């Protein structure tokens, strides 16, 4: 794990893109910790907050519709450089929203830009893997998880020093933009036009199966992000300094799992990783909703993080290499389900929490995890161990 990550850091073209993965979660970790305050400041109930969060998936759908046009005109590196600066500015406005209208507009714009940013970064990683004959996807997604853990820790520390989330997001966004400026030449070196403006194709049932698994994994991640702090505060009565630690535990577990993900993939195959991961995530949510204390719930979120860690990198790599589809089309078809799960999942949980309880809302993810495991087991695009050995270089024989 350490050797692989060290070589990844030295490989500047990949590290520049990998940092963008962590930039997203650095922003999002502050967002997670700020949600209870936003809920109180703008007078949301669980149900109205859940309904408000639907603006993000509407934005993501807009991003999906725009993606083929955007990436047939704009080089992917230029979009990455600009897109993440725009996202940082949106998040500053979102967390500091002074009324609901401003909050809703920011959520919509966040969904749109997040979708386009996700396509650009994952497509670039896929191109770098092919160009340099090296597995990079899981390590880049580990950077995302690492960013979430770091930002959750930053939020907890700054809350202890009485620095509000509005100032926290400004500080984090400034640091992200400075690093992007430092990496500008590596990002702009990616001059590929990643879509040919062919007509968008309807997905097959098999592709929809991958999209469903992606939806469940992202739904789990979105619910941890948006509801873990509220669950800790309102159900487990955790002190303010601890409310972000559920997400932190989840993010640390995701980081550890993904730093080992490329090595694990060559040994057990993508199908086994997806099925076992979905089952572990379902078990983790079962621990969370039955937890009698904060520390037990944190352990449950760690299980969820470990379970989800290997799933999404596999799905992104698979979607980029579906026969007959461009990279953008594959990502759009599969990751639309993922982003819808990430952004609508918290809304669904909010509705259930309004009618019943937050614990019962989170229980839905147990069933979804079991369904994802079954769909993964039946999906022919996910490879077994023997097929994976033919598809990729062994971990120890990767070309650095």
Q: What are the DSSP calls for 30-93, one per residue?
A: HHHHHHHHHHHHTT--HHHHHHHTTHHHHHHHHHHHHHHHHTTTS-HHHHHHHHHHHHHHHHHH
pLDDT at 139: 85
pLDDT at 391: 39
Average pLDDT over residues 73-86: 94
Cβ(98)–Cβ(128) below 8 Å: no
In whole angstroms, how far apart are CA 287 and each of 205, 290, 309? Answer: 33, 5, 18
pLDDT at 322: 73
At 201, list the tokens.
């194709």
Residues contacting residue 15 through CB under 8 Å, at least 6 positions apart = 8, 9, 183, 186
pLDDT higher than 80, residue 115: yes
Average pLDDT over residues 204-222: 85
pLDDT at 198: 56
Q: Domains (ranges, CATH) in the chain?
A: 10-191+204-397 (1.20.1250.20)
pLDDT at 82: 95
Nearest CA among 215, 305, 314 for reference residue 271: 314
Confidence band, pLDDT 50/70/90 cuts, at residue 197: low
Q: Distance (Å, rounded) from C-alpha 58 to C-alpha 24? A: 19
pLDDT at 185: 93
Question: What are the tens digits of pLDDT across the range 127-182?
Answer: 888 888 887 888 888 888 788 778 877 887 887 888 888 899 999 999 999 999 99
Cβ(83)–Cβ(117) below 8 Å: yes
- What 3-state DSSP class applies to 201? coil
Q: Distance (Å, rounded) from C-alpha 280 to C-alpha 1? A: 21
pLDDT at 5: 74
Question: What are the tens digits of pLDDT across the range 311-368?
Answer: 988 888 887 777 766 677 777 777 777 767 776 787 788 888 888 888 888 999 999 9
pLDDT higher than 50, residue 396: no
pLDDT at 186: 93
Q: Read off the pTM.
A: 0.73
Exposure letters 284-308 (e unless 16+ CB within 10 A, then b): bbbbbbebeebeebbbbbbbbbbbb
């Amino acid at each position: 794990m350490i050797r692989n990550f060290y070589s990844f850091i030295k490989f500047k073209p990949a590290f520049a893109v990998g940092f963008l993965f962590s930039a997203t979660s650095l922003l999002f970790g502050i967002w997670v910790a700020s949600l209870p305050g936003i809920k109180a400041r703008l007078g949301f109930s669980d149900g109205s907050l859940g309904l408000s969060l639907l603006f993000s998936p509407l934005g993501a759908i807009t991003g999906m519709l725009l993606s083929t046009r955007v990436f047939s005109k704009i080089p992917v590196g230029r979009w990455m450089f600009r897109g993440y600066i725009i996202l940082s500015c949106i998040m500053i406005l979102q967390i500091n929203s002074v009324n609901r209208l401003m909050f809703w507009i920011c959520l919509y714009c966040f969904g749109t830009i997040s979708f386009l940013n996700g396509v650009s970064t994952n497509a670039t990683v896929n191109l770098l893997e092919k160009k340099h004959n090296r597995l990079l996807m899981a390590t880049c997604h580990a950077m995302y998880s690492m960013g979430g853990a770091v930002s959750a820790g930053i939020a907890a520390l700054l809350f202890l020093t009485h620095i509000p989330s509005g100032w926290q997001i400004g500080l984090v966004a400034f640091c992200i933009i400075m690093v992007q400026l430092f990496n500008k030449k590596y990002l702009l070196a990616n001059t590929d036009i990643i879509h040919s403006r062919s007509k968008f194709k309807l997905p097959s049932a098999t592709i929809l199966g991958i999209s469903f698994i992606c939806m469940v994994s992202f739904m789990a991640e979105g619910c941890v992000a948006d509801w873990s702090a509220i669950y800790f505060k309102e159900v487990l009565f955790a002190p303010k300094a601890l409310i972000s630690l559920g997400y932190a535990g989840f993010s640390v577990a995701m980081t550890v799992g993904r730093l080992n993900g490329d090595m694990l993939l060559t040994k057990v195959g993508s199908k086994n990783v997806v099925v076992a991961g979905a089952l572990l995530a379902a078990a983790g949510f079962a621990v969370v909703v039955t937890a009698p204390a904060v520390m037990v719930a944190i352990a449950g979120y760690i299980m969820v993080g470990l379970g989800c860690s290997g799933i999404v990198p596999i799905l992104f790599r698979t979607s980029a290499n579906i026969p007959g589809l461009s990279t953008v089309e594959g990502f759009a078809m599969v990751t639309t389900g993922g982003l819808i799960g990430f952004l609508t999942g918290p809304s669904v949980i909010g509705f259930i929490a309004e009618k019943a309880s937050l614990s019962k809302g989170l229980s839905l993810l147990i069933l979804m995890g079991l369904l994802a495991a079954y769909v993964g087991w039946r999906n022919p695009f996910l490879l077994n161990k023997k097929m994976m050995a033919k598809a990729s270089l062994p971990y120890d024989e990767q070309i650095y």
